[in-house]
Amino acid sequence: MSGEFALIADLFSGHDHAPGIALGVGDDCALIRLHGRKCLAVTTDTMVEGRHFFPGTDPYYLGWRALAVNLSDLAAMGARPYCCTMSLTLPDGSREFLDPFAQGFFDLACQEGVALIGGNMSRGPLSITIEAFGKVREDRAMRRSGAHPGDNIYVTGGLGTCGLYVKAGQGEIELSPELSERCYKHSFILESRTAFARKLSRWCSCAVDISDGIVGDLRHILKQSKVGAQLHLDQLPLAAVLDCSESAEKLTFRQRCEIAAYGGCDYELLFTLPAHSREEEHMCTLAWKHKVPVSRVGTIVRAEDSAGADPLQLYFEGRPVPCEQAFEHF
């Protein structure tokens, strides 16, 4: 079976040309020109029970996360959230599910200034689809194609919460009830990076949100920018649940770094900036003002400078390590 991105490339690319389309298939959002330099950023995401969340997940958490994952795409473009539509497929119309689901959704929507302007509801296995819209200046949209050799690679926040949560849910690791609950909550109540990203876009031209794990999503930048990269797994910022004493007792440092690298669904921001530049200085000041943790995790290199055929070279404690298959939602 072909993967998600192979199917998109083979069947659903190349038909995105129309008047006013500034950016089509292949980035975190499409861009539609409005007036002046303004663009409408458009993104859509689906969450399916059994694939993106376990049966019995708190409906409040689902409502929050359904919107949060779309806001993460808008953040990656530097767009200001504006409005959205929602399509729900439900086994039944139980208010026991819908009331807390709506509360979680609107708690985040109100926080981010997002209006719900339409949608659809149908009966079937539980599935949630949000299409979100934001506004951004075309010349400030951060695209996957904006990385250059010599750039440093940065990531916000900590990685691996959802990866650890999934491993525990699949029985691969046993966690204490307290740590399990922390993983559960923080896998769904995601922190928004939209305000930080809007300001970052003044100096940064390349970003992607981390939905498939940092290894998988960095590859999108490398492909679009036609560059290579060196990524240091031991420099990845571990989420608090991976950096605690309990996780350290049950997992080696390398295992925890690999969960952070491949786990997926972190919805943090991965971006590049020229090394030793004023842009880096501005970013550091901005991160401090917004209280957003930012870590440097690697370097962009020329594609021809990559060792071997793979443009992405991984290192752990200074030594090259093999690259594993990234997480895919399909």
Q: Which residues are annotated as a binding site for substrate?
A: 52, 327
Q: Among candidates 82, 208, 203, which has minimal Cα distance to 144? A: 208
Bind-site residues for ATP: 119-120, 144, 211
User: Residue 86 and residue 148: Cα distance in Å, rounded?
Assistant: 37
Contact (CB, 8 A) for 140 and 201: yes
| N-terminal to C-terminal alpha carbon distance within the chain | 10
For β-strands 294-302 and 38-48, DSSP reports them as unpaired
Strand order in the sheet with 269-274: 206-209, 269-274, 151-156, 294-302, 227-232, 312-316, 319-321
Bind-site residues: 28, 43-45, 52, 73, 119-120, 144, 209, 211-212, 327
Contact (CB, 8 A) for 188 and 58: yes
Contact (CB, 8 A) for 77 and 46: no
Helices (H), the chain: 4-11, 59-77, 95-112, 161-169, 177-188, 194-200, 214-225, 245-250, 253-262, 278-290
Whole-number CA gyration radius for the chain:
19
Task: Please state the length of the chain.
Answer: 330
Q: Residues with Cβ < 8 Å from 224, sequence gap 6 or more?
A: 26, 27, 143, 144, 145
Bind-site residues for Mg(2+): 28, 43-45, 73, 120, 209, 212
What is residue 95's three-state secondary structure? helix
User: Residue 293 and residue 312: Cα distance in Å, rounded?
Assistant: 24
